[in-house]
Structures are given as C-alpha cells and as structure tokens.
Amino acid sequence: MSMARPIAPADVRRDLLTRREIALLDVREEDPFARSHPLFAANLPLSRLELEAWERLPRRDVRIVLYDNGEGLVDRAARRLAALGYSDVSALTGGLAGWAAAGFELFQDVNSASKAFGELVEARRHTPSLPAPEARALIDGPAPTVVLDARRFDEYRTMSIPTGVSVPGAELVLRARDLAPDPATTIIVNCAGRTRSLIGAQSLINAGVPNPVVALRNGSIGWTLAGQTLDHGQTRRYGEPSPEAEAEARRAAREVAYRAGVRRLDQADLAALVADAHRTLYRFDPRQPEEFEAGHLPGFRNAPGGQLVQETDHVAPVRGARIVLADPRGVRADMTASWLAQMGWEVYVLEAAEAAFSAHGPAPRRTPEPPAAQVITAQALAARLDADDLTVIDLGAGPVHRRGHIPGAWFAIRARLSEDLADVPQDRTVALTSPDGLLARFAAPEVAAITGQAVRVLEGGTAAWIAAGLPLETGLIRAASAPDDVYKRPYEGTDNAATAMQAYLDWEYGLVDQLARDGTHGFFVI
C-alpha cells in the first residue's frame, strides 16, 4: 500500500496558481531532474532526504507532493519523509508523465524559474548588454571600464573575464560606486551565462548608479564562443565601501525594495511570524559567508543574495512560503528582497540592531540523528586495504569522487544500491564512506540488508582520510551506479563543448515564451 495519497496534476497546478503553500519535489537524481520537470519543482533526491529535508522543508506539516518518472522512488521517499515527521505527503498521479499528459509545461536545466525570471526582466526592462567582441574592445580601449563578476568567488577563481573583479550579485549595489567612482566609467556585469549578468546589471540600474551599465551578453559562455581567452585563478575582490558610497547605496536599495512591495519588520513582528505554525518561514542572511560567520542573527541561515535569487528553488522549495532577510547594512537584504518580491514571494526585511547579530560561525546543520553504526578509522581502513579483505563503497557525489577517492573504492548512488551492488564484491566486509561520513551512516543499514555482510562506516568520511594524509585515486574507475547524480552545467568549468554551451543559450532565449505557456509564475517586473 502506498504511503502517499494520489493528487492530480491539475490540483497541484491550482495550488501553484493560487499561491497555496506547496513543495513539489522531484526525488530523482539531479541529472534526470534537469532534463525535464515542472517550473516550480525542486530537486530533493531520495538519496539525500535525511541530509536536506529539515532545512529545506522546515514545517513538518507542509503540503508535499512527490514525483518521479516511473523509477519507483516515490513510495520509498514518502516512507522516509514520514519517519522524519512529515504528515502531509502526496504523490503526483502519473508522475512526470502524468504532468505532461495533462498538457502542462515541462522545463529543462536547474534553477529554471529563476532563469526564466531573469529572461523576463531583460524582455520587460530591455536591460542593456554587449556581445563579447564589443566588450573586449571596450576593456582594451582608452575609455574607463570595470568588469564586475556577479558569481560566487569560487566560480570566479575557476575562470573570469580579463580585468574582472569578484563582486557576487547582492554586493553589487553596495560596492559599485567605489569600484567605479567616475560616473563616466562603464560597468560591465558578467556571470557564466545570462541570469546573474542580467539581474546584476539591472540591480545597478534600478538603484540609480550613475555610470553606464551593461551586462556581458551570454557571460563567459559568449566570451568563449567568440574565441576569446579567459583568465584563471584570479583573486581580485571588492574592498570596504566608503561611508558616502554606503549611505547612497542604503538609500537607493531601500527605495528599490519599496517599489517592489517589500515590507519591513522589527523583532516583535518577526516573533509573530515565527509563532505562526500554519505558514512556512525561511530566515536568510544574504551576505557572503565570511561576514555571516563573523556575526549573524540566531536562527538565520546564510544564503548569499545573488545565489538566493539564482537558486531559489533549492534554498526555498516551499512555493508560497514567507521569506525574511536580515543584513546589518541593509543593502544586500533590500536588493535581494526586491527581486524575490518580483518573483512572487511574500518577503520581508528585518530591521535589527547590529548588536543583535550575535551568533558566530556556520549555522548549525539540522539533520536527524543517524542510525548507530560500526565505525572504522582512516588508519585502520588503510591497513585493511593493504590486506585486501574489504570492499569500499563511496556515496559521495560523482564529481567529488572523480576528483579524489579512496583507492579501490566503488562509486555508488544510495537510492539505487539494491540494484547496483550486484557487480560489487560481496563476500567480505563493506566499508562505506561519503564526504563527511553522514550520508554513509544513514545508508549503512541498507547496505547491510542488501549485502548480508558486516558494514563499517569510515569515521569522519573521506575528509578524515584526506586529513590523515592518505593517498587518493582520481577518475571514475569502478562505477556501480551510472553517475547521473549531478547535472553537468554547460556554464561551469572549463571543459564544456561548444555545442552544449550554444544549446544552453538557445534554451534560455526561449524561456519567456515557456513562461507564457505555463501560466503559473506570477512574476512582475518593476
């Protein structure tokens, strides 16, 4: 008997249209999810439910709808969610095929709703952009020009536009006036593809930055397709804003937020929202991780603003939830909130004294207690490898496994262990690992039941192996599972095929028409 009640696609679509709280969850791995899914679906793989559910779905009685594409994952996910305390779990009738059969739109890639919104912003506001050759000529020419890279710092370090400075999206309005103090200086905002370039450039325009502002059309993809060379390993970052620039940024950002309909809260108002047990509430600090860890409000999680707008489906998968943002300087919260409001979210900015930002370090990770397991230390595992009397199974993500894993380890995906372990030697003890060991702990009882062998979990996971200075093996040498757990993004890394990059751009250009056909988004553009 199924653990989840059936729900028709039309009823799910109605909830999305009427903004009733709903979490439409695709429990497949990321790559199949990226190939086809509804606009507001969020990917929460069965493999990682215990690691992610409590943070991404903070209210245990939230309305959850699960689907797959016939893989048989939904019932298992429903049982696992019930064990985690979730009480309102349904299954989409017919799964992904049922959604398509009902005549509803399917989208590709990841973060599709945010990317479609970015395309809508450009279509409505005619955000100025320059193709890569014109941007290159401007950078090389005599006129003053600065390039501001709106991606995460790690993405910027991997590859960047020559002369570019790392200024992640939510920081742009706070930092731009100091990075381009002469109003005659042209500001070029770039990302890897289109969305963060467009949102970043339009943020500066919305905030009244006096400089000429343009997006780099198609980002580093467009730069590469034009045959132009990217830099690698750069470390240029923004500095502290001057008092004058910060004051103007605060004023401008608040005005933009007001125009977008963002509301403001004090601590008493926030307490009332927290006490409302019938609504999901997300509390985010949109600053960069180092600022967050130096001091943040208790109960808030770090979600840097540019990525929060870019990856809203991942960070806040409950569509129709409330979002509260807090930032002691205000600018990052106001600009981020302005975009979330235009994306249809009920969003607030909390006004709190700087002294209230009293918590330090990373926010505590909210996961259930994993099952008890027999552990093995890195040194003991290394000795057993030399004796060749155990099998190592690595449950880490495919790209992480390729970069470095314990010698001899098999790559496997947790959700498919019962099918995929058939080719793995099962006549000896199994050692399980994952990046920090937590996923391995959750999987240990399953592996013991499948193999009938004693199972040991590497204490501290692969990180402990690395910390002990033990050797790693690279590549995908022993794959029990097909490595479809992570979608290879055509706009990240440096080894993407030109055809894949061009196909990605073509897809983005078609998103505005897809939004119109889908009809559920509720986006507006100020």
| Dihedral sign from CA coordinates of 226, 228, 234, 236 | negative
Mean local confidence (pLDDT), 434-446? 96
- The sign of the dihedral angle between the CA atoms of 19, 25, 26, 31 is positive
pLDDT of residue 491: 76
User: What's the 3-state SS for 309-372?
Assistant: HHCHHHHCCCECCEEEEECCCCHHHHHHHHHHHHCCCEEEEECCCHHHCCECCCCCCCCCCCCC
Amino acid at 492: E
Q: What is the pLDDT of residue 511?
A: 94
Quick one: how many helices (H) and strands (E) in the chain? 24, 20
* pLDDT grade for 2, boundaries at 50, 70 and 90: low
Helix/strand/coil for 156: helix
pLDDT given at position 100 = 98
**How many C-alpha atoms does 71 have within 13 Å on its Cβ side?**
21
pLDDT at 171: 98
Reported as a pLDDT band with limits 50, 70 and 90, residue 208 is very high
Query: What is the predicted pLDDT for the residue at 503?
Result: 83
Left if phi > 0, otherwise alpha if psi is -120 to 50, otherwise beta: which for 109?
Answer: left
Q: Which CATH number fits domain 124-239: 3.30.70.1350, 3.40.250.10, 3.90.1300.10, 3.40.50.1860?
A: 3.40.250.10
Task: Answer whether 39's CB lies under 8 Å from 521's CB.
Answer: yes
Three-state SS across 211-250?
A: CCEEEECCHHHHHHHCCCCCECCCCCECCCCCHHHHHHHH
Handedness of CA 204, 206, 207, 211 (dihedral sign): positive
**DSSP calls for 254-322:** HHHHHHHT-EEE-HHHHHHHHH-TTS-EEEEE-S-HHHHHHSB-TT-EE--HHHHHHTHHHH--SBT-E
Question: Would you say residue 1 has pLDDT above 60?
Answer: no
Question: What tens digit of pLDDT does each residue of 400-412 get?
Answer: 999 999 999 999 9
pLDDT band at 492 (very low <50, low <70, confident <90, very high): confident
| CA distance linking residue 179 with residue 211, whole number of Å | 11
Residue with tokens 């570019």: 164
494 pLDDT higher than 80: no
Average pLDDT, the chain: 95
Tell me what the mean pLDDT of segment 2-10 comes to.
90
Tokens of 230: 């990217």
- The tens digit of pLDDT for each residue in 115-128 reads 999 999 999 999 99
Neighbours of 137 (CB within 10 A): 12
pLDDT of residue 75: 97
pLDDT the model gives residue 387: 80
Render pLDDT for 472-483 as a digit per residue (tens, 0 to 9): 999 999 999 999
Spatial distance between the Cα atoms of 281 and 324, rounded to a whole number of angstroms: 7
Tokens of residue 281, six digits: 């509430």
Can you tell me the mean pLDDT for 427-452?
94
CB of 312 closer than 8 Å to CB of 340? yes
Q: What percent of the chain has pLDDT over 90?
A: 91
Euclidean distance between CA atoms 500 and 134, whole angstroms: 23
What is the rounded average pLDDT of the residues 293-308?
Answer: 96
139 φ/ψ angles, rounded to the nearest 5 degrees = -60, -40
CATH number of 375-467: 3.40.250.10
Contact 75, 4 (CB under 8 A): yes
For 215-239, what is each residue's pLDDT tens digit? 999 999 999 999 999 999 999 999 9
Q: Give Cα separations from 60 to 55, 56, 64, 108, 278 (angstroms).
A: 11, 11, 10, 29, 10
What's the CATH class of domain 5-112?
Answer: alpha beta
CA distance 515 to 115: 11
What is the band of 30 on the pLDDT scale with cuts at 50, 70, 90? very high
Considering all CA atoms of the chain, what is the largest pairwise distance in Å, rounded to the nearest integer? 72
Q: What is the mean pLDDT of residues 199-228?
A: 96
Specify the 3-state DSSP secondary structure of 419. Answer: helix
CATH of 251-356, picked from 3.40.640.10, 3.40.250.10, 1.10.10.10, 3.60.10.10, is 3.40.250.10
What is the mean predicted confidence (pLDDT) over 69-90? 97
Whether 495 shows a pLDDT value over 90: the answer reads no
CATH 3.40.250.10 boundaries in the chain: 5-112, 124-239, 251-356, 375-467
Quick: pLDDT tens for 258-279: 999 999 999 999 999 999 999 9
The pLDDT assigned to 343 comes to: 97
- Burial of 457-480, coded b for 16+ CB within 10 Å and e otherwise, reads bbbbbbbbbbeeebeeeeeeebeb
**DSSP 8-class letter at 409:** P
What would the mean pLDDT of 52-66 be, rounded to a whole number?
97
**Average pLDDT for residues 443-463, to the nearest whole number?**
94
Measured at the CA of 33, the angle between CA 283 and CA 27, to 5 degrees, comes to 65
Instruction: Tell me the per-residue pLDDT of 343-373, one tens digit each, with 9 for 90 and over.
Output: 999 999 999 999 999 999 999 999 999 999 9
Q: How are strands ordered across the β-sheet holding 346-350?
A: 263-265, 346-350, 322-326, 281-285, 301-302
CA 109/CA 119 separation, integer angstroms: 14
